[in-house]
Amino acid sequence: MVNNKYALIKEIKEYAIDNKIPIMRQDGIDFLTTFIIKHQVKNVLEIGSAIGYSAIMMSLCSPNLKVTTIERDEERYLEAIKNIKKLKLEDRITLIFNDALKTKIEGKYDLVFIDAAKAQNIKFFELFERNLTDGGFIITDNMYFHGLVHKNEKEIKSRNVRGIVRKIKDYITFLKNNDNYNTTIYDIGDGIAVSEKKARGGS
């Protein structure tokens, strides 16, 4: 049974590679799961499930953790449902098939994990920070956007990619200037931002 779990995770990763589905890198997953354990996170709201890989890895690292995750791509959502069933995590992972920007979530979460359309990060942050507990965290993946954020923009040929890189830079400025949070960007995986919500009235 234990071996079966690892075999299933391996299959999910292989499916992601074969179908060019972007999932978190191993060092990013290690960071996220260690963070969840260290901060005793009880529930996570994830924006961008893809095929359920990160939601599954987060659930497996902490036996009582609950994850709510939103995905707008139907094929990926259906694959995520299958994967979550295979790992028997249906009672701990709630999948929502919708555009996150059109989704209203009730309740509070210790951790909001943003891993969806990179150009929309500010919108996701502003929409879902209302779901964050005091002292909770917003974690955002791909802050380096495959290293392109550190490149001279003139070297980036695609106009579309240049636009995304600019939006990520705007997001970094937004996080740094946001007095309600302390943000650190870690040089792990593809760059991971951790924004800790300051306790009300405190610093």
* Residue 76 lies near ligand SAM (rule: CB under 6 A): yes
Query: Which of 126, 118, 107 has the alpha carbon at shortest distance from 48?
Result: 118
Question: Which of the residues 80 through 99 are near ligand SAM (CB under 6 A)?
Answer: 99
Contact predicate 83/59, CB 8 Å: no
Contact 124, 115 (CB under 8 A): no
190 lies in the binding site for ligand SAM (CB under 6 A): no
Residue of 72, 79, 110, 191 that binds ligand SAM (CB under 6 A): 72
Residues 11, 9: Cα–Cα separation, whole Å: 5
Alpha helices in 19-153 (DSSP H): 26-38, 53-61, 74-86, 121-128
Q: Pick the piece of the chain touching ligand SAM (CB under 6 A) from 47-55, 161-169, 170-178, 183-191.
A: 47-55
**Can residue 54 be called a binding residue for ligand SAM (CB under 6 A)?**
yes
Contact map string, positions 105 to 134, toward ligand SAM, x by CB under 6 A: ----------xxx-----------------
Q: Is 73 in the site for ligand SAM (CB under 6 A)?
A: yes
Instruction: Report CA 109 to chain centroid distance, whole Å.
Output: 13
* Residue ranges that bind ligand SAM, judged by CB under 6 A: 22-24, 48, 50, 53-54, 70-73, 76, 99-101, 115-117
